[in-house]
């Protein structure tokens, strides 16, 4: 209702937030997590989330890294990931598993 009426002295919450989607795909490079404003047909996505998509992707990237690469841990994680600096996309690389 606030967005429709836009009262003169009540500005809080009267603007529309941009919709953001968490998208992902798996290819030969690994798992790619991205945030996008629109989703192409056939893409895997979750949302719309708004601003919450950014911390969700950061948390998910760290958790998946630790789950997929247990032997590497936080030490071999990409620089800045622990602080949430992922850039436009976060790619969790696929490493070959040595045969035992």
72 is a domain residue: yes
8 is a domain residue: no
The total number of structural domains in the chain stands at: 1
29 is a domain residue: yes
What pLDDT digit, counting tens, does each position of 67-91 carry?
887 777 777 777 777 666 767 788 8
7 is a domain residue: no
The pTM of the whole model exceeds 0.85? no
23 is a domain residue: yes
76 is a domain residue: yes
Residues in a beta bridge with 44: 24
Collapsed DSSP state (helix, strand, coil) of residue 51: helix
What pLDDT, on the 0 to 100 scale, is given for residue 58? 87
- Mean pLDDT throughout 1-26? 74
What is the extent of the structural domain holding 40?
Answer: 17-93
User: Is the pLDDT score of 7 beyond 50?
Assistant: yes
84 is a domain residue: yes
| Cα(52)–Cα(47) distance, integer angstroms | 10
Helical residues (DSSP H) of 1-100, grouped into ranges = 2-5, 53-68
- Whether residue 94 contacts residue 28, with contact meaning beta carbons closer than 8 Å, is answered with yes
Q: Record the tokens describing residue 6, joined without a space.
A: 């836009």
């Amino acid at each position: 209702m606030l967005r429709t009426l836009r009262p003169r002295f009540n500005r809080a919450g009267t603007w529309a937030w941009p919709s953001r989607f968490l998208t992902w795909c798996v290819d030969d490079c690994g798992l790619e997590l991205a945030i996008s404003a629109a989703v192409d047909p056939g893409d895997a996505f979750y949302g719309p989330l708004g601003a919450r998509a950014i911390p969700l992707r950061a948390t998910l990237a760290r958790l998946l890294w630790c789950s997929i690469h247990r032997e590497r841990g936080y030490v071999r994680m990409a620089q800045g990931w622990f602080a949430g600096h992922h850039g436009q996309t976060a790619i969790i690389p696929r490493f070959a598993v040595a045969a035992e």
